[in-house]
Chains A and B, each alone.
Chain A
Amino acid sequence: MNRARLMQGNEAVAEGALAAGVLFYAGYPITPSTEIAEIMAERLPLIGGTFIQMEDEIASMAAIIGASLTGLKALTATSGPGFSLKQENLGYAIATEIPCVVVNVQRGGPSTGLPTSPAQADVMQAKWGTHGDHPIIVLTPSSVQECYELAVIAFNFAEEFRIPVILLMDEVIGHLREKVIIPPKLTIIDRKRPAVPPGEYIPYENNESMIPAMANFGDGYRYHVTGLTHNEKGLPTGNPEVTKNFMRRLTQKLNPYLDRIQLVEEVQLDDAELIVVAYGCTSRSALEAVHIARGAGLRVGLFRPITIWPFPQKQLEKYANRKYLVAEMNCGQLVGEIERIFGYKSVERLNRLDGELITPQEILGKIREVVHYV
Chain B
Amino acid sequence: MFSDIAQYFRAETLPHIWCPGCGIGTVMAAIARAIKTLQLDQNKVIFVSGIGCSSRLPGYLDFNTIHTTHGRALPFATGIKAARPELDVFVIMGDGDSSAIGGNHLIHASRRNIDLTAIIINNSIYGMTGGQTSPLTPHDKRGTTSPFGNLERPFQILELVKAAGATYGARATAYHNQLLTELVMDAYNNPGFSLVEAISQCPVSYGRRNKFKTPADMLLWQKEHAFKAGQRAPREEDFQIGEIFKSQAPEYTREYEKLRQKLREISLDG
User: Interface of A with B (CB < 8 Å)?
Assistant: 23-24, 26, 45-46, 48, 50, 52, 54-56, 58-60, 62-72, 74, 88-89, 92, 217-228, 235-236
Q: Are B66 and A226 in contact (CB-based, < 8 A)?
A: yes
Please measure, in the bound complex, the distance between the C-alpha atom of A89 and the C-alpha atom of B73, giving whole angstroms: 11
**B 59-93 to A, binary, CB cutoff 8 A, 1 in contact else 0:** 10011111111001011111111111011000000
Is B129 at the interface (CB under 8 A from chain A)? Answer: no
Contacts A222-B64, A224-B59 hold; do A62 and B80 have CB atoms under 8 A apart?
no
Name 22 A/B residue pairs within 8 A (Cβ), A-sorted: A24-B83, A46-B267, A48-B260, A50-B83, A54-B108, A58-B75, A59-B104, A62-B75, A64-B79, A66-B80, A69-B79, A69-B80, A89-B68, A217-B66, A218-B64, A218-B86, A222-B42, A222-B43, A222-B62, A222-B64, A225-B65, A225-B67
Query: Contacting A218 at CB < 8 Å: which of B62, B84, B267?
Result: B84
Is B46 at the interface (CB under 8 A from chain A)? Answer: yes
Given contacts A50-B256, A52-B78, A69-B66, 4 further A-B pairs with CB under 8 A are: A45-B256, A69-B79, A92-B69, A224-B58
With CB as the reference atom, state the residue of chain A lying closest to B81.
A66
Please measure, in the bound complex, the distance between the C-alpha atom of A59 and the C-alpha atom of B75, giving whole angstroms: 5
Contacts of B256 in A (CB 8 A): 45, 50
Contacts of B108 in A (CB 8 A): 54-55, 59
With CB as the reference atom, state the residue of chain B lying closest to A50.
B82
Is B105 at the interface (CB under 8 A from chain A)? Answer: yes
Is B39 at the interface (CB under 8 A from chain A)? Answer: no
**B 140-179 to A, binary, CB cutoff 8 A, 1 in contact else 0:** 0000000000000000000000000000000000000000
Q: Are A218 and B43 in contact (CB-based, < 8 A)?
A: yes
Is B13 at the interface (CB under 8 A from chain A)? Answer: yes
Contacts A58-B75, A218-B43, A222-B43 hold; do A63 and B67 have CB atoms under 8 A apart?
no
Is B263 at the interface (CB under 8 A from chain A)? Answer: yes
Contacts A46-B267, A236-B59 hold; do A24 and B46 have CB atoms under 8 A apart?
no
With CB as the reference atom, state the residue of chain A lying closest to B88.
A218
Q: Tell me, rounded to whole Å, the shortest Cβ–Cβ distance linking B35 to chain A.
A: 13
Q: Are A65 and B260 in contact (CB-based, < 8 A)?
A: no
Q: Are B82 and A235 in contact (CB-based, < 8 A)?
A: no
Please measure, in the bound complex, the distance between the C-alpha atom of A40 and the C-alpha atom of B164, giving whole angstroms: 27
Contacts of A225 in B (CB 8 A): 65-67
Contacts A55-B108, A222-B64, A225-B67 hold; do A67 and B83 have CB atoms under 8 A apart?
yes
Q: Are A59 and B72 in contact (CB-based, < 8 A)?
A: yes
Query: Contacting B75 at CB < 8 Å: which of A63, A219, A222, A228?
Result: A63
Query: Contacting B46 at CB < 8 Å: which of A55, A218, A220?
Result: A218
Q: Tell me, rounded to whole Å, the shortest Cβ–Cβ distance linking B59 to chain A.
A: 6
With CB as the reference atom, state the residue of chain B lying closest to A61.
B75
Q: Tell me, rounded to whole Å, the shortest Cβ–Cβ distance linking B255 to chain A.
A: 11
Contacts of B64 in A (CB 8 A): 217-218, 221-223
Contacts of B58 in A (CB 8 A): 224
Is B220 at the interface (CB under 8 A from chain A)? Answer: no
Q: Are A46 and B263 in contact (CB-based, < 8 A)?
A: yes
Query: Contacting A24 at CB < 8 Å: which of B59, B69, B82?
Result: B82
* Residue with the highest number of chain B CB atoms closer than 10 Å, among A24, A45, A74: A45
Q: Are A63 and B78 in contact (CB-based, < 8 A)?
A: yes
Contacts of A223 in B (CB 8 A): 64-65
* Residue with the highest number of chain A CB atoms closer than 10 Å, among B44, B62, B79, B80: B79
Q: Are B68 and A92 in contact (CB-based, < 8 A)?
A: yes
Contacts of B59 in A (CB 8 A): 224, 226, 235-236
Please measure, in the bound complex, the distance between the C-alpha atom of A70 and the C-alpha atom of B44, giving whole angstroms: 11
Contacts of A70 in B (CB 8 A): 80, 83-84, 87
With CB as the reference atom, state the residue of chain A lying closest to B65.
A224
Contacts of B83 in A (CB 8 A): 23-24, 50, 66-67, 70-72, 74
Please measure, in the bound complex, the distance between the C-alpha atom of A326 and the C-alpha atom of B79, giving whole angstroms: 41
Please measure, in the bound complex, the distance between the C-alpha atom of A355 and the C-alpha atom of B67, giving whole angstroms: 41
Is B259 at the interface (CB under 8 A from chain A)? Answer: yes
Q: Tell me, rounded to whole Å, the shortest Cβ–Cβ distance linking A336 to chain B.
A: 30
Q: Tell me, rounded to whole Å, the shortest Cβ–Cβ distance linking A227 to chain B.
A: 6
Please measure, in the bound complex, the distance between the C-alpha atom of A218 and the C-alpha atom of B41, giving whole angstroms: 10
Please measure, in the bound complex, the distance between the C-alpha atom of A236 and the C-alpha atom of B87, giving whole angstroms: 25
* Residue with the highest number of chain A CB atoms closer than 10 Å, among B12, B65, B67, B87: B67
Please measure, in the bound complex, the distance between the C-alpha atom of A26 and the C-alpha atom of B252, giving whole angstroms: 14
Q: Tell me, rounded to whole Å, the shortest Cβ–Cβ distance linking A41 to chain B.
A: 11
Q: Are B87 and A218 in contact (CB-based, < 8 A)?
A: yes
Contacts of A222 in B (CB 8 A): 42-43, 62-65
Contacts of A228 in B (CB 8 A): 67
Please measure, in the bound complex, the distance between the C-alpha atom of A88 and the C-alpha atom of B51, giving whole angstroms: 13
